[in-house]
Amino acid sequence: MSMRFVQVPKKYPFYYVPLVGISVGHTRLSIPPTVFALKPNGTGGGVIIDSGTPTTALADGAYGPLREELRRQLNGSLVSPPANSGMDLCMVVAHEKTVPSLVFHFSGGADMVLPPENYWVRLDNSTSCMVMHISNGMSVIGKFQLQNMHLLYDLAKDELSFQRADCSSL
């Protein structure tokens, strides 16, 4: 899958990607396009892919609907996060198979499908938690969510390509 970078003034220090929506399982979340838009004055917003950032941080207007849809779909499976874990949504490990895939939809039809293991992690023998959090502006797709993914930044074409991969076989 490929997408064109968002065209921004050269003074902006990142390559922004055109995220336009998120799905949880078969449910497309109701997120206004402005949530992912770069603010015209350059003071924030937008979406980048950053392999140096540990986990994905989504702007509140995207994280809130994501959290609520996961709560709805996983209702009886959720448990309170362990104290001081910094996690928001957790479940009993025995219920991990109920976690749906998550899809980042980019303009041009590029869909990045994240299997549960790319956004949930086992904290101990009994608890598994979502490893995404809320950001205070810019959304960042981090390296935990990019596991087993090949990324190609083609700066001559102003394009980012990605595909699933089994990185354990490399």
pLDDT tens for 48-70 read 999 899 999 999 999 999 999 99
What tokens does 130 get? 């979502």
Beta strands at 102-106 and 111-114: parallel, antiparallel or unpaired: antiparallel
Mean pLDDT over residues 17-24, rounded? 96
CA distance 147 to 84: 26
| The pLDDT value given to residue 82 | 83
**Domain extents for the chain?**
2-76+98-113+131-169
The single-letter DSSP state of residue 98 is G
Mean pLDDT for all residues in the chain:
90
What tokens does 2 get? 């490929």
In this structure, which topology does domain 2-76+98-113+131-169 adopt according to CATH? Cathepsin D, subunit A; domain 1 (2.40.70)
| The pLDDT value given to residue 42 | 62
**What share of the chain has pLDDT > 70, as a percent?**
98
Question: What is the separation, in whole angstroms, between the first and last Cα of the chain?
Answer: 21
Q: What is the pLDDT of residues 112-156, one digit of tens each?
A: 999 999 999 998 888 899 999 999 889 999 999 999 999 999 999
